[in-house]
A and B are shown apart, each in its own frame.
Chain A
């Protein structure tokens, strides 16, 4: 009978002690391998084709982005320009918005200016809280 006694000692249950470990391992694996796509950026609505509207010149402020990163500010009809750095744009735009809530920021970028400079100016304008923004390219009218 010693043989039978030994046989009966084997548990008839499925060992579930390690199940939690397995599950947590899988859980942590999926947690760490999951990459959430982050959609972040500066939103803007382009004008629809053939829906261009005439705007009074006094309601426009031009930011002319030059290839070297400098920005020229031109107000309405006046021909004189003021050269500033891209960091100053947001301050200027804030003043303009305070003076005229309907003002439109027209960002005119040189075709060869790097994209980052245009984003820098757009960032400044957005930060100032401007809603009406127009994107244009220099030498194209």
Chain B
């Protein structure tokens, strides 16, 4: 139970949103797209780790 992870994801989301709007305003649509994608992948890695942790816990608990 650490709230840091949720804040981290929110920070990445806000950062990506800001970068995205900046890059779109300056006419670099491809780079904005790449930033979005990179942010998504970074967050997805954190989320996958947490979900794997959950599934392993359930597996160990109910001895699958």
A and B physically associate: no
